[in-house]
Each structure stands twice: as C-alpha cells, then as structure tokens.
Copies of this chain bind each other. A is one copy, B any other.
Amino acid sequence: MSRHLCRRVGAQLTRQNNFSAARRAYSSPAATTFNWQDPLSAKSLLTEDEIAISETAERYCQEQLLPRLEEGYRNEVYDKIQLEEMGQLGLLGATIKGYGCAGVSSVAGGLITKAVERVDSGYRSGMSVQSSLVMGGINEFGSEEQKQRFLPAMAQGKLLGAFGLTEPNHGSDPGSLETVAVEHPTKKGYYNLSGAKTWITNSPIADVLLVWAKVADPSKGLAADGTPKKVIRGFLVERKNCPAGTLETPAIKNKLGLRASITGMIQLDNCPVPVENMFPDVQGLRGPFSCLNQARYGIAMGVIGALEDCISRARTYALDRKQFRGNPLAKYQLIQKKLADAATDAAFGTLAAIQVGRLKDAGGEAAAGLPDMISMIKRQNCDRALQGARTLQEIFGGNAVSDEYGIGRHVANLFVAQTYEGQSDIHSLILGRSITGVQAFA
C-alpha cells in the first residue's frame, strides 16, 4: 500500500519538473561522522517504506510548497490547490486504510506532517485538519455510508474539510460548548444547527464542516432547568446543501501567526442538516477528543520539522555571517550552545514521536494510555520547538526581522502550534492528573 503511494509520489513529481536531488531528507553525511540533521539516527528506526514516503514528501514540499510560501505568508493567501496536489500524491488521510487512502503507518503519517511543517506550520495545519481531524473523524466515527460518501473525494483533495469545535467563549474547555442542534420543526429527519465556532482552519474554503453540537437526549433525564439533558454529537455540514443565510464562514484576517493558512469562523443559523450526516454512535467529548488525538500526534512530529528548519537556517547563517576579527558566528560559544540545545531537542523529540507512533499502531495493551502519551509528546515537542526557534532567532540579530530568513515566521507559527489543540498548560494538567490521579483543572 505504501509502496503504491511511493510510486505515485515519485511518478507525479517526475512528471512535474526536473528537480535536482532533494536538498535534505535524510541525506547521508559521511558515514563516520555525526549527522547534525539526525543526531541520534532516528532514520535507523524507520522502514524502507517510511524512508521512501518521507523523502518524496520532503521533495514535494521543498520543490512545490516552499516557493509559494513568501507570498502566502506576507499576504495571508492560501491556495487550496495544494491540498489537491497532496491528494494526488496520496498524502491526505494517509494512515487510513481503504477508501482510497494510502494506509501507511502512523510514523509515516507523522513524517509527512514533518515534511510539510519543515516548510510552514500553516501549510501543515491545513493538511492536518483535512487528514486527521475530519477524515480521521469520519473514519473512526462515521457510518459506512458516510465513509464511502466523503473519504475518497477528501483523500484526493477534491472535497475539503473543516473541524468545528472551538467556540468564541470556549477554548480549553470544549465541554461547555453552546452550539445546539434541535429537531427541525417541520422537515422530518433533519436537525437545525445554530451557534458559532471560531479559529477554524480552512473554514472559508471547506466543503464539509464537521460541527460538534449539543442535542437533547431525553434518555439521559432532565437537567436542572427541567429540559432534557443534552449530549455532544458530530454533524457533517455540507456547504452545498445549506440554504442561503444558514451558514457563513468569514475569514479571520491580520493574523500574527500561521498567516500562510486560512482561518475563519463558522456561523450557523438554523442550518438544516439531515440525520444521515450525524455520526451514528459517538456521544460526548470522546468524539472530538479522539479526533484531536489524531491531529496532536501529527503536530508532535510536525513541529520538529519546523525546528529542524530553524536549526538548518541558523547554522547556515552562523557559518556565513562574520563578526569580530573575521570569525563566523559559529565560532562563538554562546552561538554553539543555542545550536546544541535545539539539535538535542529535535533529536529527542523525534525519537519520542516515533515510539508513540509504534505503540499507536501496535494497539491493544501497548497503546494503553495513548492519549496521555500523545499529550506528553505534543506538549513537549511544541514547547521545545518554540523555545528552540526563539533561541535560534537570536543568532540572526536584527536580520531576524526580515521575512527572507524565515526564522521569525517559524517563531510566530510555533507559538500557535503550542497553543492550539491543547494549550501547553492544559496538557500539563492532563499529565498531572494521570500521574497523580487528582484533577487540577478547576
């Protein structure tokens, strides 16, 4: 299956252009020396398929995505064609088995996100939403009919998704969400959705929006106010079927990070959705949390790509830039320590992410406690990638302010990666609860 993906990727790229050898992606240093790009030889833990997938993803990202980035980041322009390209290469929903998806390992899926995030966290965010949050959600909780209806087109990047959980007043605490779905007063088999979601990656361009809303469930008894208790359910809102005025997805502009991705709101005003578009079984926070878990794994691996790009850029700058008696910056102890720290965090973070991917795929007892494991690597890798990027930024001095060096962009992006899908402190409390058995959220 993944072999197939590789062939597709390779063929595709060959058709597209004549590129020189990929600039990076596990290029071999001389065999007897330390490889600063992979200090602890994470590559030795990968299968041949995974290496091939990683290399082709890296190649696509460096050859195709990187050239578009400067314009995209400066002007907050996101060209959705790139999702279609990724789809053609088999990179979307790649860990899903069947439904036109590649069915690769979790680690391979992570290496794809790493390749994309080496270019830009915004591009990776756009892909993560499609692959993990929406396709992953449908694959795990959708009915067979839903899977067949949505997944193949999404895998090709022809149908785009968005994930509507966060609301203006409810970020870290989604259990308090206020969006509701009520039975349509006249149209049988339909729910009317009303509410607002915000900070939704891809919402302005999405064709299908996975919206989490509360639905009255009389079987749960009555709430304090005498009405039936409500449960959280997932709805696949198809834009093409929404009557005018019931769905708006305005873009949020002037962002201070992830400017190369597109972000918006979802505003629902009695938007009718057929019951066939509701996830059949999953109730409560288990649904969205499981989707987030998939995505968080990708982030944990992805941010290391951004950090590695910062290391590479900073190293090059430090070797090229001469200050004081003609020495390169690389000659100075304070500079070397910054590089050593960042390289260590990248190496350790990669190993941890690979390990969790292996346990995830092993499943069963091996994967016991998986959500906590993912909290641990999402938190740590985001924290360390952000810290590393900030420290490396200092090497550039005033030049860091110029967007051509790329470092300031990574710093701004990684702050967002640290805060979304579980802000760092929230993950600290998740871990603290699991370590102690006592919750400290409130």
Contact = CB atoms under 8 A, between A and B. Distances in A.
A219 interface: no
B440 A332 contact: yes
B334 A333 contact: yes
Interface stretch (A126-134, A150-158, A396-404): A396-404
Most central of A40, A330, A339, A411 by chain B CB within 10 Å: A40
Contacts of A366: 41, 44
Interface string A2-45: 00000000000000000000000000001111111001111011
A352 interface: yes
Contacts of A352: 40, 347-348, 351
Given A33-B369, A39-B373, A340-B435, A398 B440 contact: no
Interface stretch (A55-63, A99-107, A273-281, A424-432): A424-432
A348 B346 CA distance: 11
A36 B401 contact: no
A421 to B, nearest CB: 10
Given A336-B432, A390-B390, 16 more contacts: A30-B368, A40-B373, A44-B358, A44-B366, A176-B323, A252-B402, A254-B403, A257-B408, A335-B432, A335-B440, A336-B436, A340-B428, A341-B428, A343-B431, A347-B376, A348-B348
A388 to B, nearest CB: 13
B369 A442 contact: no
A434 B34 contact: yes
14 contacts: A30-B368, A33-B434, A166-B398, A172-B324, A256-B400, A324-B441, A327-B442, A333-B334, A333-B425, A333-B432, A336-B429, A340-B379, A340-B435, A394-B418
Contacts of A434: 33-34, 36
A194 interface: no
Interface string A361-397: 0100110110011001101100000000010011001
B336 A39 contact: no
Contact of A398 (B325, B339, B416): B416
A331 interface: yes
B394 A419 contact: yes
A315 interface: yes
Contacts of A351: 348, 351-352, 355
Given A403-B256, A412-B256, A429-B333, A355 B325 contact: no
A429 B436 CA distance: 22
Max count, chain B CB within 10 A of own CB: residue among A356, A398, A441: A398
A416 B394 CA distance: 10
Interface in A310-353: 315, 318-319, 322-325, 327-328, 330-337, 339-341, 343-344, 347-349, 351-352
A48 interface: no
A284 interface: no
Interface of A: 30-36, 39-42, 44-45, 74, 166, 169-173, 176, 199, 252, 254-258, 315, 318-319, 322-325, 327-328, 330-337, 339-341, 343-344, 347-349, 351-352, 355-356, 358-359, 362, 365-366, 368-369, 372-373, 376-377, 379-380, 390, 393-394, 397-403, 408-409, 411-412, 415-416, 418-420, 423-425, 427-429, 431-438, 440-442
A256 B258 CA distance: 13
A406 to B, nearest CB: 10
B400 A315 contact: no
Q: Which DSSP category, helix, strand, loop or mixed, fits chain A's interface?
A: helix
Contacts of A322: 169
A403 B263 CA distance: 14
Contacts of A398: 166, 171, 199, 416, 419-420
A166 B36 CA distance: 30
A432 B172 contact: no
A397 B423 contact: yes
B323 A433 contact: no
A397 B415 CA distance: 9
A347 B379 CA distance: 13
Given A173-B324, A398-B171, A440 B333 contact: yes
